[in-house]
Homo-oligomer: A and B are copies of this chain.
Amino acid sequence: MRLSQLFTKTSKTIPADETARNAQLLIQAGFIHKEMAGVYSYLPLGKRVLDNIEQIVREEMNALGGIEVQLSILQPKDIWEKTDRWDDDKVDNWFKTKLKNGTELGISLTNEEPLTNALGGFINSYKDLPAYVYQIHSKFRNELRAKSGLMRGREFLMKDLYSFCRTQEEHNAFYENAALAYMKVYDRLGIGDTTYRTYASGGIFSKFSDEFQTLSDVGEDTIYVHEDKRVAVNKEVFTDEVLSDLGFKREELIEKRAVEVGNIFSLGTKYADALNVYYTDEQGERQSIIMGCYGLGISRLMGLLAEHFADDKGLVWPEAVAPAKVYLVRLGDDEATVKQADELYNRLTAAGVGVLYDDRDLRAGAKFADADLTGIPYRVVISDKTRVAGVYELKARGSEDSQQLNQAELLKTLDV
């Protein structure tokens, strides 16, 4: 993409109404636009990051055996009354709206009820199960306060998967595979080494749920990390009894701040039973369906990655999610220099390498500052001087040092 054709611009001013570093940076870099607290629109570069994270999650969910659907955002009241999750006294962060005739509707915050209800029309026999179904779609939570930028939005993009199993063994096996798939996602996003599967509060049907927590000083959660075992315990269940259950000694665990980047949960038979969805086993007996839910916030991950990797110059995207791999700075407008920069841009683009081509009429300092703020992994400079010297100047975003490379070396370094 040529920056001369991109309508967004960077800004040096920290937005006065944002306290979260992730939102400040993303707004300054022109990745997002704030509509109101906790509600953001994704501008072209932000949309690309969101798409890249989404695709990584999709691939890992497909590899896990998940099948993708897209559920409606408007939801009917009656299915939520069956599980007693409609009243604001029971669930306190619904957004609701109304049809013209006054019928109340919910605005999607989670999907156990609608998905179980939809599935109910198809499930009869044990042969129809198991089912592993997911979607990646906008969700809404009416938070009283929203001041963590993309990390806790009122409107956000989330992957939610639901499993429907016949036996506890079948459920447990899938649940463990899902936990492995989550760790693959974090590995691909570059936060595998700082993300811990974390024991957290369970529910009626299991002693614990599992959170995935990424270490971060700005995290809202406190966790206790067992570095040797690569697991953690959320403060909410950090009791002597739990430690004894897990066979951990208190002194083996280190207190850390962390951000929850995923959450998987055994639901037992509660939802399917309440919605009257059962299956018939090999003996012709009616049996309950055991469910699990598996949430992963796509836009929250974008906020976390923005904040986690940032330095004092701006964003630093992992290559897997960056809006482009190369930020190509053209300095000077000698015809031969323009031609060389255009040619490199075309060549990289044709090879499938994403390029932000800074072809704007700006000073070198402004272009370098934008390259840093935008956080693209590689900066390549072409100037009258480099052209005459027959070199390209390459600098990795995290590094202070640049290299002078000939074209073959440059292309090799960029995996072209």
Taking Cβ atoms with an 8 Å cutoff, the residues of A that contact B are 1, 4-9, 30, 33, 35-36, 39-44, 46-47, 50, 65, 67-76, 95-100, 105, 107, 114, 118-119, 121-123, 127-128, 131, 133, 137-138, 140, 142-144, 154-155, 164, 361
Contact = CB atoms under 8 A, between A and B. Distances in A.
A318 B143 CA distance: 44
6 contacts: A5-B67, A7-B119, A9-B122, A36-B76, A43-B118, A95-B105
Contacts of A154: 74, 99
How many protomers of this protein does the assembly include? Answer: 2
Given A7-B119, A107-B107, 17 more contacts: A5-B65, A7-B122, A7-B123, A9-B122, A35-B74, A35-B75, A35-B114, A40-B72, A42-B69, A44-B68, A47-B69, A50-B70, A72-B155, A73-B138, A74-B155, A99-B154, A137-B138
A128 B107 CA distance: 37
B123 A35 contact: no
A153 to B, nearest CB: 9
B119 A73 contact: no
Contact of A7 (B8, B98, B128): B128
B41 A7 contact: no
A72 to B, nearest CB: 5
A406 B107 CA distance: 53
Contacts of A40: 72
A35 B107 CA distance: 13
A74 B143 CA distance: 13
Nearest to A140: B74
Nearest to A78: B36
B142 A7 contact: no
| Chain B CB within 10 Å, residue with most, of A33, A118, A127, A361 | A33
B70 A118 contact: no
A143 B40 CA distance: 27
Pick the most buried of A30, A74, A95, A97: most chain B CB atoms within 10 A of its CB. Answer: A74
A308 B137 CA distance: 29
A46 B70 CA distance: 9
A142 B100 contact: yes
A95 B131 CA distance: 34
A33 B68 CA distance: 14
Contacts of A143: 100
Contact of A144 (B50, B74, B100): B100
Contacts of A8: 122
A40 B73 CA distance: 9
Contacts of A70: 41-42, 47, 50
A43 B69 contact: yes
A69 to B, nearest CB: 5
A128 B30 CA distance: 14
Nearest to A123: B7
Contacts of A133: 7
Top 10 nearest A-B pairs (CB, nearest first) are A33-B118, A7-B131, A42-B70, A41-B71, A95-B97, A35-B72, A97-B97, A39-B72, A39-B74, A41-B72
Contacts of A138: 73, 137-138
A44 B69 contact: yes
Given A97-B96, A121-B33, A44 B72 contact: no
Contact of A6 (B5, B30, B67, B75): B67
Given A97-B97, A100-B142, A35 B76 contact: yes
A41 B69 contact: yes
